Amino acid sequence: MKEKIIPETLKKVVEEISNLPGYGEKSAQKLAVNILNMPRGEALKLIENFTEMLEKIHPCRECGIYAEEELCPVCLDEDRDKTVICVVEESFDAFAIERTGKYNGLYHVIGGRLSPLEEITPEDLNIESLIERVEKNPVKEVILATNPTVEGEATASYIYNLLKNKNIIISRIGYGLPFGAILENADDFTLAKALEHKTPI
């Protein structure tokens, strides 16, 4: 009965947002209301930006970082060390590492983390393409920079097991980062330290 008071269109938007990972019903409601409360022009501009983003942004063919071109600026850069690949969960983790200016290798975005709760299995992540890259290119080191969370650790150890017999150095990002931290939110100094203190597994 109570439900009937919620306009159908609003209900639909809230439902769709709350289907996104990391959004509950409350945060979905908040986002919808924030957009409704925006000046109409700004709100429409925001929606336009979303459309433009969907049209222009796609994962880099090689590493999976979100980019506007077929290959991202990192993969196109001749000066990068192509023997090192840093494995991250999401593009924004790579952007955070780039911001430190302390890393000169390549990236591989797996697109999430293993999570039995959310039913995310290895097949849902770009892990197979990582193994292929390691096999087909002169890679000497893989740095596992998944987040220091339970799922991030499980993901790192899953990838480690697939790579351990491939005659390369496999290291894990160091722990200036507190357990449970999210790479993307770490300050540049902490992240730079964590990279510096990576340790071979």
The binding site for Zn ion (CB under 5 A) comprises 60, 62-63, 65, 72, 75
Per-residue H/E/C for 19-74: CCCCCCHHHHHHHHHHHHHCCHHHHHHHHHHHHHHHHHCEECCCCCCEECCCCCHH
The H-assigned helical ranges of 65-181 are 73-76, 91-100, 128-136, 150-163
Taking the C-alpha atoms of residue 150 and residue 85, their distance in angstroms, rounded to an integer, is 22
* Residue 173: CB minimum distance to Zn ion, A: 19
* Residue 105: CB minimum distance to Zn ion, A: 12
Rank residues 32 and 63 by Cβ distance to Zn ion and give the closer one: 63
Position 72, amino acid = C
Rank residues 116 and 138 by Cβ distance to Zn ion and give the closer one: 138
* Residue 40: CB minimum distance to Zn ion, A: 38
* Residue 61: CB minimum distance to Zn ion, A: 7
Taking the C-alpha atoms of residue 24 and residue 46, their distance in angstroms, rounded to an integer, is 22
